[in-house]
Each structure stands twice: as C-alpha cells, then as structure tokens.
Amino acid sequence: AQSVAQPEDQVNVAEGNPLTVKCTYSVSGNPYLFWYVQYPNRGLQFLLKYITGDNLVKGSYGFEAEFNKSQTSFHLKKPSALVSDSALYFCAVRDTAGGYQKVTFGTGTKLQVIP
Amino acid sequence: KAGVTQTPRYLIKTRGQQVTLSCSPISGHRSVSWYQQTPGQGLQFLFEYFSETQRNKGNFPGRFSGRQFSNSRSEMNVSTLELGDSALYLCASSRRPGTGENTGELFFGEGSRLTVL
C-alpha cells in the first residue's frame, strides 16, 4: 500500500528566508509525486510533480522540490518566502506498480510566513 | 477553459437527512475523484469514476455513494447523515484514471462545505 507522511503540522518562516516543507513516501513501485497548495476556503491547486528524470523539479510561484529516492523524500522548497505563500500544503503520491492506483495525500503542512 | 465546478458550495443539513453533491469536470476530463476533507482526518479518498464506472473506492461506509454520467459529470450522495459527516467535499478531475500511464495531476473544484446539525 502506498502512503505519504508530512511530519510537520506547521512550519513558520520569516519573509525572505528560504523555506522547506518535508514529505516522505512509501510505494511498491516507482512513485509519481505531487505538491498541492490550498488557500482558505478554496480547493487544492497543483504546484509541481515528479514523474521521472531530473531530481529537482520546478513548479509554480517559484517553488521547487527535490526527489531523493534513497531517502524516499520529496521536500518542497523555495529560496525566498513571501507572506502570500502562507497556506496549507499537501504532498501526494501515486504508485505505478500494480496497475490502477489512486492518489494518496499527506495530512498537510500549514506554512506561516511571518512579515 | 472552465475549471471544475462543484455545487452547492455550502449547505446545512440535519442528522438523518441525505445530501447530493454535484461535480462538473473540466471539459475533456473523463475521470472524477471525490475526497472528504476534515481538520482531524485530512484528505480522505472516497471514490473515483471513469466512463461511468467506479474504478476505486476508499474506506467509507455504504452511506456514501456516487455515480458518473455519460457526460462525465458526477454526483455523490450521503444518506442518513451523521454529525461526523460535516466536512469539505472536494471533487477533482483528470484526463484518465489512475493507471501507471497517467502522469497527470488532479484539478480540484472549490468544494462543497457540508454542515450537519
């Protein structure tokens, strides 16, 4: 069975500082990995995805994520945080083994960027 | 291009009632998934439909059901509502179902916020 863990319920970072939101996963085969962001009272918006290839993936709004197969991690990063980045972030995984697989989401990490 | 549309956005029901939520996917998307989001449980997968067939189902009781129509629109129904069913119900669409060949992301609607009193 596939699973995703986001170990931090909340991350606080000062505006202008780099930010990291952590994600680890477990799958049987190769993973498809995703990051989504959710603003209050809104649906989830896609940020970026890793399918194959370069381990550093760039996405929307200046975010990037690094795939690390040995550590089974897919941490979300941004070099300089903005107050407007404050939101709820979800990591998600889809296993490519065993045919059809649903997307499994982590529990979410609330990012608070402090002015 | 219109996004995923969910109706209604907000609704209030009482225990024991039933509710039907609607989801219109992005044009050309044939796969629709439903998720329940609560503060305590996070995002929980309900089910996914493709070509009017349920392709996968989460661990929810039989009170939760869904269907998909030939135009890919989907509805979910919750019968005999309980207080714990209060949640944000999110619908997401994608071009194809979750096979290994599908690398695409999910496109979410704004959600239907259900309050059960």
pLDDT band at B100 (very low <50, low <70, confident <90, very high): very low
pLDDT band at B55 (very low <50, low <70, confident <90, very high): confident
- Mean pLDDT for chain A? 92
Given a cut of 90, whether residue B76 has pLDDT beyond it is yes
Q: Which residues of A touch B58 (CB under 8 A)?
A: 102
pLDDT band at B102 (very low <50, low <70, confident <90, very high): low
Interface contact A104, partner B, CB < 8 A: yes
**B80 and B63 Cβ atoms separated by less than 8 Å:** yes
pLDDT band at B71 (very low <50, low <70, confident <90, very high): very high
What per-residue confidence (pLDDT) applies to A110?
96
What per-residue confidence (pLDDT) applies to B103?
63
Residue-by-residue DSSP string for A7-31: --SEEEEETTS-EEE--EEE-SS-E
Q: Which residues of A touch B6 (CB under 8 A)?
A: 43
> Encoding tokens for residue B12?
């209030």
Interface contact B97, partner A, CB < 8 A: yes
CA distance B11 to A105: 25
- Mean pLDDT for chain B? 91
Contact A99/B4, CB-based, under 8 Å? no
Contact A49/B33, CB-based, under 8 Å? no
Given a cut of 70, whether residue B101 has pLDDT beyond it is no
Q: Which residues of chain A have pLDDT under 70?
A: 97-101
pLDDT band at B56 (very low <50, low <70, confident <90, very high): confident
What per-residue confidence (pLDDT) applies to A42?
86
Which residue in the set A99, A105, A108 is minimally distant from B99, CB to CB?
Answer: A99
What per-residue confidence (pLDDT) applies to A49?
92
Given a cut of 60, whether residue B98 has pLDDT beyond it is no
B87–chain A nearest CA distance, Å:
12
**A19 and A78 Cβ atoms separated by less than 8 Å:** yes
Interface contact B110, partner A, CB < 8 A: yes
Given a cut of 60, whether residue B40 has pLDDT beyond it is yes
Q: Count CB atoms within 10 A of the CB of residue A7.
A: 11
Q: Is B86 strand, coil or helix?
A: coil
Q: Which residues of B touch A44 (CB under 8 A)?
A: 90, 92, 106, 108
Which residue in the set A41, A51, A100 is minimally distant from B103, CB to CB?
Answer: A51
